[in-house]
Chain A
Amino acid sequence: MSQHIVTGPERSRGDALLEIHGLCVDYGQGSDAVHAVTDVDLVLHRGEVLGLAGESGSGKSTLAMAATRLLREPGVITAGEVRLHYDTGSVADLLEAGTGALRVLRWSEVSLVIQSAMNALNPVMSIRTQLTDALAAHVPDMSRRSRRDRAVELLGMVGISADRLGSHPHELSGGMRQRVMIAMALALRPQIVIMDEPTTALDVVTQREILEELIDLRDRFGFAILFITHDLSLLIEIADSIAVMYAGRLVERASAQALFRAPRHPYTLGLLHSFPALHGPRVPMTGIPGSPPDLRMLPSGCVFHPRCRFALARCADDAPPLAATGTGGRVVACWLQHPPESAPTELARPEPGLEAWAPPATADGQAATQGGSAA
């Protein structure tokens, strides 16, 4: 395990770290199964912040939990592969891994921060216990003393003083609890941190502070983040590339800039209008009419067509493929973009001309400029 602990920012960025191919996830089996995730392809690169957006209920959490095999019953994975690339160059398919193998790679390779910090920490155990037990499980030869030192160091990284070690979750504020979760997620210096709505339950000020700390930590340690949120405007500030989900499918994937400045899918466009940008002038929030479909009775053709204001005649019958369009590795599932000439002006703005993903110069600064240039 020790090789995971010495890895740091010097890792080369850019090559694939977690590859999800053709992932399908159902709730339940047989005829009344709910198809919560359908045929998702997603690649998380080394050091990248990959955003996963979509209305709530679109299958974001299901995707993340299934990819890590943490999804609870009645969730079942029905197809696909999830390939994890180790530092050493070896590759593991998480969907084929047994209990033991999963236990070893969990937290040391992939860690998790989930939404409600209140419930993510065990209410009857001290912060110290919860910080150190992952160390104890993964690094058996680590002494009690050094586990404690590491816990202090981790708390320090998120700005919490060492005297909080003995506290219990109910004694901490919501923001502190989420910081503890983040510190905990970094305990074994994983390559990947999955964050499912990590700041949704927090007030805006705390949310900002934590996001900034997070980006700092990312720059220091170079881990990749799969950042899940329903709040697309937040992703645009921190993510390198963004994937948008609708009804369990990916509908568009592009670099954050490209997606923000030049959305290609009507659903992405709708999402962009659903939230005021954190920075920049306010734009009227038009959102998306209607509500997400019942996964048991999905519409025919393009699953978005009942809510799509650009829908074509064929959209009700033919499902559009998720196919490459334009430059920079963007993929979109919409007939308007195949061929792109048929797209209306809102969906045909010029590409900002960036690569799909390139390491951001200063993640934080760049994010701000992105937001600032919203007008």
Chain B
Amino acid sequence: MRTIARRLAFYAATAIVAISVDFLIPRIIPGNPVNAILARMQGATLSKATIAGLDEQYGVNTKTSLWTQYIHFWGNVLHGNLGTSTSNGFVAVSTVIREALPWTLGLVGVATVISFVLGTLIGVLVAWRRGTWLDNLLPATTFFQAAPYFFIAFLAIDLFSTKLGWLPSGQGHQDLDFPALNWTYISDVLDHAVLPALTIVVASAAGWIISMRNVMVTTMDEDYVLVAAAKGLHRRRVIWYAARNAVLPSISGFSLAIGFIVSGALLTEIVFSYPGLGLLLVNAVSDNDYALLQGLFLIITLAVLAANLIADFVYVFLDPRIRQEA
């Protein structure tokens, strides 16, 4: 458990930093966010109390010390009170996020798992077949690794939606009356998820391919792989001997990759007008909806930390050396 405990402490520290960043940014950056909100809400009359609440939220026109504000901010966060979303009719930020979160979690979660598994398998194959035509896959992989997610999204839409008409180009589902647990609704949701998921998989699998291939190539030099071959094991089993070890660095590299994948995925959502957090994020910026922006930053960071924790557990499960120490 020692490894996990250490990682947990690190995630706690990261969460504290994220919350502090949330608190500090409006207070450090010059300008008056409340005025910006009021300017944006032109016409709408806001009650004195609402404005006072905004003042307090952003530390404007207040006499309380920064520290007291900070403590207060923490109190709010811990109670799940992330303020109200000015661009969504003053609904609680937590409510707005709660509606969008499952879409993002589902899309990005599934796409990331598919991409990891697929990329890792291809990486193993390319490494095993080193010196064959498969090596030519690597420059192509580099291209996909360098292409922006949203550009791949454009291509996917142009090809599969506009030209071929196979799949819808945007939204999360048809305008059906309400989400229902019937096949029409579910298949419709899946239909809408295919292209964004494909985009995320294509854009992010390249990284897994290259990292797996590189580690695998080094691992295949290990004596235990030679011994596996000497034992007359089936070729698949010999590959497994190497791959089982080579996947470990990919899993520990997961924490670095997931932040980038999430960023790319959010942009993908924007292209597809997918009803997830990415769309909320752009709208929050363009509508000066600061509370929503802060809440989204916090939630996305926490989600990434949770994904990291899962990767840690998987790692501990897969590596007996850490498992015993843990």
Contacts and interface: CB of A to CB of B under 8 A. Distances in A.
Touch between chains A and B, by CB atoms below 8 Å: yes
B28 interface: no
Interface in B232-252: 232-235, 237, 241, 244-245, 248
B121 interface: no
Contacts of A119: 222-224
B228 A122 contact: yes
Contacts of B237: 133, 137
A120 interface: yes
Nearest to B248: A124
A104 B228 contact: no
B232 A124 contact: no
A72 B238 CA distance: 14
A122 B234 contact: no
Interface of A: 68, 70, 72-73, 99, 102-108, 111-112, 114-116, 119-126, 133-134, 137-138, 168, 170-171, 181, 184
Given A73-B131, A124-B320, A137 B245 contact: no
Contacts of A184: 231
B5 interface: no
Contact of A124 (B228, B235, B245): B245
A134 B320 contact: no
A134 B245 contact: no
A111 B131 contact: no
Interface residues of B, number: 25
Interface string B219-232: 00111101111111
Nearest to B320: A168
A137 B224 contact: no
A106 B226 contact: no
A285 B221 CA distance: 36
Contact of B232 (A115, A123, A134): A134
A137 B228 CA distance: 11
Contacts of A115: 223
B152 interface: no
Interface of B: 131, 221-224, 226-235, 237, 241, 244-245, 248, 318-321, 324
Given A122-B241, A124-B244, A106 B231 contact: yes
B232 A102 contact: yes
A70 B223 contact: no
A115 B234 CA distance: 24
Contacts of B324: 168, 170-171
Contacts of B248: 124
A106 B232 contact: yes
B244 A107 contact: no
B231 A133 contact: yes
Given A114-B223, A115-B223, A137-B234, 5 more contacts: A103-B234, A116-B223, A121-B227, A123-B245, A138-B232
Nearest to B324: A171
Closest 10 pairs (CB-CB, A-B)? A106-B232, A119-B223, A168-B320, A134-B231, A122-B224, A112-B230, A103-B232, A107-B232, A107-B231, A120-B223
A170 B324 CA distance: 10
17 contacts: A72-B221, A106-B230, A107-B231, A112-B227, A120-B223, A120-B224, A122-B241, A122-B244, A124-B244, A124-B320, A124-B321, A133-B231, A134-B231, A134-B232, A137-B232, A137-B234, A181-B227
Contact of A68 (B224, B230, B234, B244): B230
Nearest to A113: B227
B230 A124 contact: no
Contacts of B321: 123-124, 168, 170
Contacts of A121: 224, 227
A123 B223 contact: no
B220 to A, nearest CB: 9
B319 A124 contact: yes
B226 A72 contact: yes
Nearest to A74: B131
A107 B232 CA distance: 6
B226 to A, nearest CB: 6
Nearest to A117: B223
A125 B232 CA distance: 17
B325 to A, nearest CB: 10
B215 to A, nearest CB: 13
A134 B228 CA distance: 8
A137 B223 contact: no
A114 B320 contact: no
